[in-house]
Amino acid sequence: MSCSLATEPTTWLPFAQTLLGGALSLIGGLGGIYLTAHIQQKRDRQSLAGAFAGEIGTIVHLIERRRYAEQLRQILDAPREPEDVPVIYSFSVRQNYFRVYEANADKLGWLPATLANDVTRFYGLCASFLEDVADLRDATLNPAQQALVLPTAWRRMEEMHKMLTDAVALGRQCEARARKLAGGPDPPKDARHTP
């Protein structure tokens, strides 16, 4: 007696049901893993964006509160003669205000490309500004450097002012976009960038 699938469907039906059940379990398991990873990635992206919004917002707030651009502009706009020795704009920074950026630079790819680019530009502008401030401060303390720095100090301070105002404008945009991506509310108007 031969066994034909066409004549005896009940013999292969349990096998097909088991196979189908296993396939659905595999698909469900993999789908669950994917969904869990997707949700975690979204949370990580939101947390990273929130951290950048907080740090960038703080830096911009400090720049405005301490009136760095205004002070620099006052020095540049003060009456002077061409042969005047420049009044060097200087201050010291003893804290690292870029901790979030430094700890998460390798995760910038989690952010949308334009935001990651602008965040990097913001920190680059701020770091360059601080480097210029340190160079000018060092020049006032080291006579050998004065000869190198003082002849171009006025022009350099003009560039520093432009760099700082660009950083503040870009920082405001980055903060708003990062805060939106993080899903957080905007800070209260009275606590935001008040000089």
Number of H helices, E strands in the chain: 6, 0
pLDDT value of position 126? 96
What span, in angstroms and rounded, lies between the C-alpha atoms of 1 and 19?
A: 27
Task: Specify whether the CB–CB gap between 170 and 121 falls below 8 A.
Answer: yes
**Sign, Cα dihedral of 173, 71, 158, 144:** negative
What span, in angstroms and rounded, lies between the C-alpha atoms of 75 and 96?
A: 26
Per-position pLDDT tens, the chain of length 195: 555 555 565 677 777 777 777 766 767 776 666 566 546 677 888 999 999 999 999 999 999 999 999 999 998 888 877 666 667 777 778 889 999 999 999 999 999 999 999 999 999 999 999 999 888 888 777 777 777 777 788 888 899 999 999 999 999 999 999 999 998 776 656 555 544
Task: Specify whether the CB–CB gap between 171 and 125 falls below 8 A.
Answer: no
Q: What's phi and psi for 170, nearest 5 deg?
A: -65, -40
Domain boundaries, the chain: 49-191
pLDDT value of position 187? 63
Q: What's phi and psi for 42, nearest 5 deg?
A: -65, -40
Using CA atoms, how far residue 159 sits from 7, 27, 35, 55, 152, in Å, is 89, 59, 49, 24, 11
- For the record, the structure tokens of 112 come out as 């949308």
- For the record, the structure tokens of 81 come out as 């003669």
pLDDT value of position 195? 47
As a whole number of Å, the CA-based R_g of the chain is 30
